[in-house]
Structure 1
Amino acid sequence: MTERKRNLSDVEDVRDGEVSGSKKFKDGTGKKRHIAALVLARGGSKGIPLKNIKMLAGVPLVGWVLRAAVDSNMFDSVWVSTDHDEIEKVARAWGAQVHRRSPEVSQDSSSSLDTIQEFSRLNPEMDVICNIQATSPCLHPSHLQEALQLITLQDFQSVFSVVRRHQFRWQEGKKGAGVSTRPLNLDPACRPRRQDWDGELCENGSFYFATRELIQQGLLQGGKMAYYEMLPEFSVDIDVDIDWPVAEQRVLRFGYFGRAQPEVVRLLLCVVCGGLTDGQVLLSASGEEMLSFSTRDTRGIRMLQEEGVEVVLLSSMEEPLSSALCERLTQRTGCPVRQLGADVQADVRAMMAKRGLGWNEVAYLGNDEQDVTCLTLAGLSAVPLHAPTGALNAAKYSCHSGGGRGALREFAEHILLLKKKAKAQLEQDRINRHTF
């Protein structure tokens, strides 16, 4: 096995967007090579039903790796291979094309290689395929960028991800009388200290790059091959339900949340009906309209305001609020209420232009179909629990709480967590630049 080599200047060029597939990835004859990303997402998962689109930290599981693949800017096409309609909808919402796999490779007994070979056979223009595992939600664009350079710049035919483990392994003894075992990677009489042992490289299943020629031979690893080592914190895999809560905590800390720069979020737009409230308008005996909302949400608003984020409440044309209710909401929350017209996006753009803001500086909490465009364009976006499918697929975060039941507070905490992470990353980058 060939050890991974890193050319830091090349890596930085890729991260800065100066090297793309259309400019760099050519074969020996100068012909452009088609590099494709492929995520396998069968609908018949036995351990966790429809695992691939189950929400993990507010994002469908497959969405984490699709976002990393799309944002890497290294692929000519990004695909999901599936046999399920709902997975197809989610895949398209997260920027992927869809390959509807045949029944022959959709069985419990079907292997990943069978499915990849079918995809390769039906798409002969693809020269290199990267099989990305949907169950690896801590994958980052930089992992794909650096690994792919081993193929495009150093002519490897296959590259796969590994993680370094410091675990002593023993051979399983045979059952019955006289069960025995023996060590596989250590001498019990001279057990090494962790700091004196390099450990072992283990596949973490995150991704496998292979050329078309290798795949046709029935191989994902072969020819001139190299490994790409990922740090343990990014090596997360999900197989059974017990993995889910652990993975959720890991992805909140180490996951990739997109190109948006949370540290520059200046404005949160929140739909009142279904966002700040549960969507109900109550009528008193005298005909007076009333709304109810959670004090957790008003505290969330104050948390954002204390960090310099302006909050504006939105009243839609479909669910207009009386001037009296708008005035009362402003008094209670300290936020202005803006009545939107038929063109929600145009009204939001006008608010942004007035403040000199771009979409990357805007967070949006929406609730329904009329919010889809803004949910898609905003740097950060969210929907409350039980939002319609269209809005859910467009949002970058799905709240565990319902509208009027803490959804705004949850989204506020999410924004502030990402801002904190972004600031820490900026500081680390500054330290790294001085180090090198």
Structure 2
Amino acid sequence: MAARKKSKRENDTLPDRTSSSSSKRLCPSGKRHVAALILARGGSKGIPLKNIKLLAGVPLIGWVLRAAIDSEEFDSVWVSTDHDEIEKVAKSWGAKVHRRSQEVSRDCSTSLETIQEFLKKNPEVTVLCNIQATSPCLHPSHLKEALKKITEEGYDSIFSVVRRYQFRWKEVKKGSAECTQPENLDPANRPRRQDWDGELYENGSFYFATRELVMDQGRLQGGRVAYFEMEPQHSVDIDVDIDWPVAEQRVLRFGYFGRGVSLMFCKVSGCLTDGRVFLSVSGEDTVSVHSTDTAGIRMLQKDDVEVVLLVSREDHVIQLMFDKLKKMTGCKVMVVGEEPLNDIKPLVEKRKLDWKDVAYMGNDAADASCLNLAGLSAAPADAPPGAARAAKYTCKYAGGAGAVRDFAEHVLLQKETAKVQMKQDRIDRHNF
């Protein structure tokens, strides 16, 4: 195989050749353990609980957790937090949780102190990646390529940067008679953008470092150090991009949407219907199904997503409508008990699917386990708190009033985005 051409974004800073190459050291068990750690404190001076605020239908922290887990490069993925709600969201996205102490949860606490506390409690970790929760356009490929510089090339630390083409001038204090001076240009020979390489700035998306660097030297950058250059469209920082709607548009266009699902489970009562039963004089009980929702199901089926409708064992009225539901939607219909997970888990295993390739829509606290496990999950706008908290996406509409169509469009958007990203990844690999 031909050697891979080094890309411009992977150019190194000058390495410290006197470093001990601590990245090659292993934990006491003799095995390297690479961990991802996202710091997500509950307090926020700007936006309350910003780390779990929905961004384009997904909790902010969910975007980076999905990228980290789908990279398949980490032996463990953690969220360090001091807040119960953040802990619930983190676990629903497949992360482990480190409950940080009060000492490192203050406004004056540094990221380094929190990371050191985590490493003290997890001695098996030899390489750590601190991922910023507010970088929702992070992709698995960014993490995979950056980590190679530690695991394959022996660097001790890697951090993400973005290239900017901005001319800097010296600041002059108010009231001073001093004149400003250029800091990175000659005004008499202003370069054109295409004739200037620009400058590299940390974008804060992630920092890889070896255990020894963090614990022995108290640094995230040091030893043999290199950078990984990210494209500007992926360098979205919610701490800076305070206009949430603008950030949402960036994420919808450039965020990582996962690999797409091939199987979706949907509760009938409360999702496909509004949960009401209409009693007639003739004794026939009826329910209402919105045509918009059945159209959404057909959209999924057309895109090769198998949809399975779930009926509660206690819902006798819906059970009597099995044949009509099958005929109307073309879906398989299953009866599930008090814990739906026990009934659908065998089907997921039979299809040999990973849970991240499964979508689930539910509207009850009993659905929480499935909502947590599924790669994509949703609850109608009128779902009770137990289901709403567990769902990764909250629909704009209530059950029986367009919620299924809304979620179907969300699933298809993520599938299409995933296809485009996979195609682009193949193009990028061929270019190197």
Question: Do these two structures clear the TM 0.5 threshold for a shared fold by scoring above it?
Answer: yes
Q: Greater CA deviation, 392-401 or 133-142?
A: 392-401
**Cα distance in structure 1, aligned partners of 2:105 and 2:354:** 40
From 406, 415, 420, give the equivalent of 2:416.
420
Residue 157 of structure 2 aligns with an amino acid whose one-letter code is S
Unaligned runs of 5+ in 2: 8-22
**Cα distance in structure 2, aligned partners of 1:132 and 1:57:** 20
Identify the residue that residue 108 of structure 1 maps to in structure 2.
Answer: 107
> CA offset at residue 228 of structure 1?
0.8
Unaligned runs of 5+ in 1: 1-6, 12-24
**Cα distance in structure 2, aligned partners of 1:224 and 1:175:** 41
Identify the residue that residue 12 of structure 2 maps to in structure 1.
Answer: none
Which structure has more RCO (C-alpha within 8 Å, separation ≥ 6)? 2
From 280, 291, 295, give the equivalent of 2:287.
291
What pairs with 1:342-381 in structure 2 (closer than 5 Å)?
342=337, 344-345=340-341, 348=344, 358=353, 363-375=359-371, 378=374, 380-381=376-377
1:340 aligned counterpart, secondary structure: strand
Identify the residue that residue 233 of structure 1 maps to in structure 2.
Answer: 233
> CA offset at residue 100 of structure 1?
1.7
> CA offset at residue 353 of structure 1?
9.2
Identify the residue that residue 340 of structure 1 maps to in structure 2.
Answer: 335
Task: Please list the CA deviations of residues 7-58 of structure 1 after superposition, one character each: whole Å capped at 9, or x if unmatched.
Answer: 74999xxxxxxxxxxxxx8428994233222111110111110111112222
Identify the residue that residue 220 of structure 2 maps to in structure 1.
Answer: 220
**Cα distance in structure 2, aligned partners of 1:326 and 1:71:** 37
> CA offset at residue 145 of structure 1?
1.7
Task: Please list the CA deviations of residues 87-123 of structure 1 after superposition, one character each: whole Å capped at 9, or x if unmatched.
Answer: 1222222222222222121111112122222223333
Count matched residues. 411
**Cα distance in structure 2, aligned partners of 1:422 and 1:36:** 25
Q: Greater CA deviation, 110-119 or 360-369?
A: 360-369
Residue 80 of structure 2 aligns with an amino acid whose one-letter code is S
Identify the residue that residue 201 of structure 2 maps to in structure 1.
Answer: 202
> CA offset at residue 76 of structure 1?
2.7
Decide whether aligned partners of structure 1 residues 145 and 55 sit closer, same or farther in structure 2, where only a CA change above 3 A counts.
same
Decide whether aligned partners of structure 1 residues 181 and 388 sit closer, same or farther in structure 2, where only a CA change above 3 A counts.
farther
- Is the CA contact 1:48–1:239 (under 8 Å) kept in the aligned structure 2? no
Residue 338 of structure 1 aligns with an amino acid whose one-letter code is V
Q: Kindly indicate whether residue 379 of structure 2 is the aligned counterpart of residue 383 of structure 1.
A: yes
Identify the residue that residue 256 of structure 2 maps to in structure 1.
Answer: 256
**Cα distance in structure 1, aligned partners of 2:162 and 2:307:** 43
| TM-score normalised by length of structure 1 | 0.81
Residue 417 of structure 1 aligns with an amino acid whose one-letter code is L
Decide whether aligned partners of structure 1 residues 305 and 421 sit closer, same or farther in structure 2, where only a CA change above 3 A counts.
same
1:246 aligned counterpart, secondary structure: helix
RMSD, aligned α-carbons: 3.4
**Cα distance in structure 2, aligned partners of 1:351 and 1:121:** 41
- Is the CA contact 1:137–1:255 (under 8 Å) kept in the aligned structure 2? yes
- Is the CA contact 1:41–1:81 (under 8 Å) kept in the aligned structure 2? yes
**Cα distance in structure 2, aligned partners of 1:274 and 1:29:** 50
Decide whether aligned partners of structure 1 residues 269 and 46 sit closer, same or farther in structure 2, where only a CA change above 3 A counts.
same
- Is the CA contact 2:265–2:310 (under 8 Å) kept in the aligned structure 1? yes
What pairs with 1:3-402 in structure 2 (closer than 5 Å)?
8=4, 26-27=24-25, 31-176=30-175, 178=177, 180-216=179-215, 217-239=217-239, 242-258=242-258, 260-262=259-261, 265=262, 267-284=263-280, 288-322=284-318, 333-336=328-331, 338-342=333-337, 344-345=340-341, 348=344, 358=353, 363-375=359-371, 378=374, 380-388=376-384, 391-392=387-388, 395-402=391-398
Q: Greater CA deviation, 137-146 or 209-218?
A: 209-218
- Is the CA contact 1:58–1:400 (under 8 Å) kept in the aligned structure 2? no
Identify the residue that residue 10 of structure 2 maps to in structure 1.
Answer: none
- Is the CA contact 2:81–2:87 (under 8 Å) kept in the aligned structure 1? yes
Q: Greater CA deviation, 111-120 or 341-350?
A: 341-350
Decide whether aligned partners of structure 1 residues 193 and 115 sit closer, same or farther in structure 2, where only a CA change above 3 A counts.
same
**Cα distance in structure 1, aligned partners of 2:285 and 2:60:** 41
Residue 385 of structure 1 aligns with an amino acid whose one-letter code is A
- Is the CA contact 2:36–2:131 (under 8 Å) kept in the aligned structure 1? yes
